[in-house]
């Protein structure tokens, strides 16, 4: 594999969500690549299929639902839709990690933050005992948790919203993944905390050469973070463009409508 | 010049939550004052936990206050007997953030919208369904949907229904607590324009609570910035947005993402602004603006231009 070849190559991916009552085609054949070290944004409104796409790559279904997938998801030469569940378990978390929107529901409330990181390390890297603990402290430090050696034995409820999101990012990067999928990672957070988390993701990406798939409904969040954006609507990618281009000259009508609806912080021409 | 008396007048409002176990008592709202004129919107911004929602609830007398005064149409609410307060409630209503949890799933839209009409005896019984139809039309919905249940509607439509419920009894004043933050951006824009047109049509006053500075700029005439239970800056939207003067306001503006990739990349490269550098300060020491408030007997508040004021508390140490 060449250095600048795609690390993830998705071809004609479809996802049908099957519930007892009905079947919904949430993703209707989308195709995209993410290169090694590249950051790509996925933007769209709720129900456009962006989160289902992320979960399809991880082969995760929303609770109580079955998702039928079609097409191919090529990750480092393997079709993830064809590998066994056992192999998938080794890829999930270790090679591809995910950070979700709500840091309270994605952490286990009755297990300390440290134990949750150590659990990941034990499962995927073979580190255990004091070595795992030491590595967990290191990770908490890297994501900017003050006094990590003291906070490692805290439970999630003892962390603020921003700290919980940092802890989740620490878990996600604990096994040095090649690709990090962040699904609305800052939506539940205040703007000051949002700025800190975005900066952290940017820094980790630079330091580790990690690829980033950033899913959001917020143009402000992708603006400084990614090189390319895929705009999704109704289960399809309707526009794909470089980040500067999409803000300067969006070509799809839907992208223009979305951008026009975003409220501006300053009057035209008064941008700081 | 005619002076319009404010519809809502809040003076030195404080709310304290009593101590519980190891946790000491907590001042959620500390000496907050503001006026809202008829037909005017005041935005209340700040991070979560800054006391915005508690302020809104305290103004509506849904939250017990520790001290201060709240007047609506010139009448003091904080000392008003329960029965009278209940009758005052038809003048002040509430719209909440989450349109999924603020509508009862087992009640039809008509039942939901009739409830305030029954409680406040706002219209005769024979006119209930007629009034429900009027309300749905007011928020640009088809009255024929009134016998459906909330699950049949999208988030934006539900928020329209919640707004219709608030307007059922013809209030003068509506507290909107993050009314659009759970919605997609195009739906946000529609609800914002609905709030605008209702304000014009019905001469409503709003207290608009939000953490999104850009939305507040679109919706509000005036804005108050809250930090740790206090208002640290207040003024016309143009004054505060063009010349943010309190360090905390500046931190908020510097943190908000901008829709310019090159500029936003530069902003993310810089050290992120961090409010934890701000300290309250002491009233018996010279404040950031050079005044010792215990000596002059003044509050820690400084008018920097007519209508635009800042607090001298919570400054970098």
DSSP string, B119-143: HTT-S-GGGHHHHHHHHHHHTT--G
Interface TM-score (ipTM) > 0.85? yes
Give the pLDDT mean for B250-264.
Answer: 93
Instruction: With H, G, I as helix, E, B as strand and everything else as coil, classify residue A223.
Output: helix
Residue partners of B160: CB distance under 8 A and separation at least 6: B139, B140, B141, B191, B194
Pairs of residues, one from chain A and one from chain B, whose beta carbons lie less than 8 Å apart: 113
Confidence of residue B95 (pLDDT cuts 50, 70, 90): very high
Residues from chain A that touch B158, judged by Cβ atoms under 8 A, are: none
For the residues A50-67, what does the mean pLDDT come to?
88
Domains in chain B with CATH codes: 8-242 (3.40.50.300), 249-317 (no CATH)
Residue B4: pLDDT over 80: no
Q: Do A263 and B274 touch (CB under 8 A)?
A: no
Contact assignment for A195 to B257 by CB distance below 8 Å: yes
Tens digits of residue pLDDT in A8-40: 999 999 999 988 888 999 999 999 999 999 999
What percentage of chain B has pLDDT greater than the value 90? 79
From start to end of chain A, where are the E strands? 6-18, 23-35, 39-43, 66-75, 78-79, 96-99, 179-183, 211-216, 228-233, 236-242
pLDDT of B204 over the 80 cut: yes
Q: What confidence score (pLDDT) does residue B311 get?
A: 96
Q: Which among B188, B217, B255 has the least Cβ separation from residue A191? A: B255
Rounded to an integer, the average pLDDT of B251-272 is: 91
pLDDT for the residue numbered B298: 87
Residue A261 is nearest to which of B189, B213, B272, comparing CB atoms? Answer: B189
- Chain A's closest residue to B189, CA to CA, is A261
Q: Model confidence at B195, in pLDDT bands (50, 70, 90)?
A: very high
Q: Which of A207, B165, B171, B169 is nearest to B179 (CA)?
A: B165
Q: Which of A161, A244, A257 sits opposite B186 (nearest CB)?
A: A257
Mean pLDDT (chain A) is: 90
Q: What is the mean pLDDT of chain B?
A: 93
Of residues B21 and A134, more confidence is placed in: A134
Query: Residue B1 — pLDDT band, cuts 50, 70, 90?
Result: low
A204-243 pLDDT, tens digit per residue, is 899 989 999 999 999 999 999 999 999 999 999 999 999 9
Which neighbouring-strand residues pair with A96? A92, A179
Distance CA B125, CA B130 (A): 10
Which residues partner with B204 through β-bridges?
none
A72, pLDDT greater than 90: yes
Average the pLDDT over A177-193 and give the result: 90
pLDDT surpassing 90 at residue B160: yes
Q: How many angstroms away from the CA of A10 is the closest CA of chain B?
A: 26
In this prediction the pTM is 0.89
Residue A4 confidence (pLDDT): 64
pLDDT at B109 over 60: yes
Residues of A in Cβ contact (< 8 Å) with B273: 192, 195
- Rounded Cα gap, residues B282 and B294, in angstroms: 9
Rg (CA), chain A: 19
- CA pair distance B244, B227, nearest whole angstrom: 14
pLDDT score of A1:
45
Interface membership of A18 toward B (CB under 8 Å) = no
**Tell me, what's the pLDDT at A2?**
46
């Amino acid at each position: 594999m060449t250095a600048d070849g795609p690390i993830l190559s998705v071809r004609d991916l479809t996802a049908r969500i099957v519930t007892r009552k009905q079947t919904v085609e949430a993703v209707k054949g989308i195709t995209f690549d993410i290169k090694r070290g590249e950051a790509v944004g996925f933007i769209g409104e709720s129900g456009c299929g962006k989160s289902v796409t992320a979960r399809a790559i991880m082969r995760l279904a929303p609770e109580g639902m079955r998702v039928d997938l079609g097409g191919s998801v090529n990750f480092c030469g393997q079709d993830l839709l064809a590998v066994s569940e056992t192999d998938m378990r080794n890829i999930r978390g270790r090679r591809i990690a995910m950070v979700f929107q709500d840091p309270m529901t994605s952490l286990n409330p009755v297990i300390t933050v440290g134990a949750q990181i150590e659990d990941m390390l034990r499962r995927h890297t073979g580190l255990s005992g004091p070595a795992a603990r030491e590595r967990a402290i290191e990770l908490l430090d890297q994501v900017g948790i003050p006094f990590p050696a003291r906070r490692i034995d805290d439970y999630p409820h003892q962390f603020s919203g921003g700290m919980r999101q940092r802890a989740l990012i620490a878990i996600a990067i604990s096994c040095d993944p090649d690709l990090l999928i962040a699904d609305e990672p800052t939506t539940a957070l205040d703007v000051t905390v949002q700025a800190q988390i975005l900066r952290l993701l940017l820094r980790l990406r630079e330091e580790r050469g990690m690829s980033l798939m950033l899913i959001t409904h917020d143009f402000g969040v992708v603006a400084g973070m990614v090189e390319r954006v895929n705009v999704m609507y109704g289960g399809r990618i309707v526009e794909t463009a470089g980040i500067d281009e999409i803000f300067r000259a969006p070509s799809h009508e839907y992208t223009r409508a979305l951008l026009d609806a975003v409220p501006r912080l300053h009057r035209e021409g008064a941008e700081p | 010049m005619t002076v319009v008396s404010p519809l809502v007048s809040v003076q030195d409002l404080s709310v304290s939550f009593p101590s519980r176990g190891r946790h000491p008592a907590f001042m959620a709202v500390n000496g907050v004052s503001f006026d809202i004129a008829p037909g005017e919107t005041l935005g209340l911004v700040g991070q979560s936990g800054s006391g915005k929602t508690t302020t809104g609830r305290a103004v509506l007398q849904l939250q017990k206050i520790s001290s201060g005064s709240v007047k609506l149409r010139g009448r003091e609410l904080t000392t008003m007997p329960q029965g009278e307060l209940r009758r005052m409630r038809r003048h002040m209503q509430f719209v909440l953030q989450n349109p999924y949890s603020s509508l009862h799933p087992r009640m039809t839209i008509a039942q939901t919208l009739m409830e305030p009409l029954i409680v406040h005896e706002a219209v005769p019984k024979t006119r209930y369904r007629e009034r429900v139809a009027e309300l749905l039309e007011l928020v640009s919905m088809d009255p024929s949907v009134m016998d459906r249940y909330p699950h049949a509607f999208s988030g934006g439509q539900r928020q329209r229904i919640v707004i219709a419920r608030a307007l059922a009894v013809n209030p003068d004043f509506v507290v909107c607590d993050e009314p659009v933050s759970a919605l997609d951006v195009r739906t946000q824009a529609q609800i914002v324009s609905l709030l605008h047109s209702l304000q014009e049509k019905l001469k409503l006053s709003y207290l608009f609570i939000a953490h999104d500075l850009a939305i507040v700029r679109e919706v509000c005439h005036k804005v108050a910035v809250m930090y740790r239970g206090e208002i640290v800056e207040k003024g016309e939207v143009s004054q505060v947005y063009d010349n943010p003067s309190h360090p905390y306001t500046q931190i908020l503006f510097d943190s908000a993402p901008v829709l310019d990739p090159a500029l936003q990349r530069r902003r993310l490269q810089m050290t992120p602004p961090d409010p934890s550098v701000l300290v309250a300060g002491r009233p018996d020491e010279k404040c950031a603006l050079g005044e010792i408030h215990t000596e002059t007997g003044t509050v820690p508040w400084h008018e920097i231009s007519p209508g635009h004021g800042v607090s001298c508390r919570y400054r970098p140490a």
